[in-house]
Chains A and B, each alone.
Chain A
């Protein structure tokens, strides 16, 4: 009895010859048998592609070349990243806004009059449509994609890269500031 044809996963397992659990079906079902055979033939063709092995001397040369590039990188002046400017603006804004909240919130904090900072009062943080800001809030709240793999992907200057580089203490402070900005108690 043939029964149902093999699923994609079972076909792939059969191509890889992982186990023989589908052998009875393959014996009985020409369609699945042909499918497995043709896919396996392609797989073997791909697998048989050769990777030319460079000369043994090459590896020493490559290691030295990479080492030189790393040392050059190490001693190069760190370029001012785009996120640094953004972070400077955002952190300044967050601190200033927090101070403003502490100062002007009824019944909270000392009554200290602070000098007005031009422009800041015009920005509505709660209804901001700035994707970077929303992402930063989300990352700080959720803990962000702190896996090794994800840390590789964020491009230099991205918000993810910035948040990933914060210490736990800095992140906690950032969360507190962001929550106060959004009016979260």
Chain B
């Protein structure tokens, strides 16, 4: 909060500010020549500002983290349109839950967790969108590709399909640990479980993938 006040002394002291569903945006507190840019503020300061009704501060958080969130979402919804929808859903969920964010985890980790929850919900609701990756949909210019490219593409399709078959927790662990290249500790924070659980899920997931990919 101190950092936030340092950045925008006017915010939080404006009589026109209200909290809750009827938040008002006090544009007078927006960045100007004599105030630091929103883009230079820390995530914590931006969260405080967004809570106070400055949607522009939330815009900066979106711009800052949308790529990372999209990448996680793409692992759950491997179609660009679906991944975009899931990314939007993730940020909307985060916006609604801003009041309960207490800063114990980094904002990015918090977003990751929301993205994983949203992704798992989507997986539970829909059939994985792997149909676009089936052989019949291999790129239209497949003839221009080398045999090696096609083989690699086919193998990638099989790997994705195998990941889609994993139980939700194992799938989420593989996505965060391997595809998102996080440490076990980071993945545990993002998944809301212990490091041991992440390791166990990753291990079992790898063994299942080995079995399924070996079959194919």
Contacts and interface: CB of A to CB of B under 8 A. Distances in A.
Interface of A: 8-9, 11-12, 15, 38-39, 41-43, 45-52, 54, 59, 62-63, 65-67, 69-71, 73-74, 77-78, 146-153, 156, 164-165
Contacts of B174: 46
B199 A59 contact: no
Closest 9 CB pairs of A and B: A151-B100, A78-B21, A149-B192, A42-B210, A66-B91, A39-B206, A42-B209, A148-B104, A46-B178
Contacts of A8: 199-200, 203
Interface centre among A62, A148, A153 (most CB of B within 10 A): A148
B203 A152 contact: no
B202 to A, nearest CB: 7
B203 A66 contact: no
B96 A151 contact: no
B87 A66 contact: yes
B210 A149 contact: no
Interface of B: 21, 23, 55, 58-59, 62-63, 66-67, 70-71, 74-75, 80, 84, 87-88, 91-93, 95-97, 99-105, 110, 113-114, 117, 155-156, 159-160, 163, 174, 178-179, 181, 189, 192, 199-200, 202-203, 206-207, 209-210, 213
22 contacts: A8-B203, A9-B199, A12-B199, A15-B206, A39-B207, A42-B210, A43-B178, A45-B213, A47-B179, A49-B160, A59-B67, A62-B70, A62-B88, A66-B88, A66-B92, A69-B91, A70-B58, A70-B95, A149-B113, A152-B110, A152-B117, A156-B96
A59 B63 contact: yes
A66 B113 CA distance: 18
Interface of B is mostly: helix
Contacts of A65: 84, 88
Nearest to A153: B117
Given A39-B210, A69-B92, 9 more contacts: A8-B200, A8-B203, A47-B181, A50-B156, A52-B74, A77-B21, A148-B100, A152-B93, A152-B100
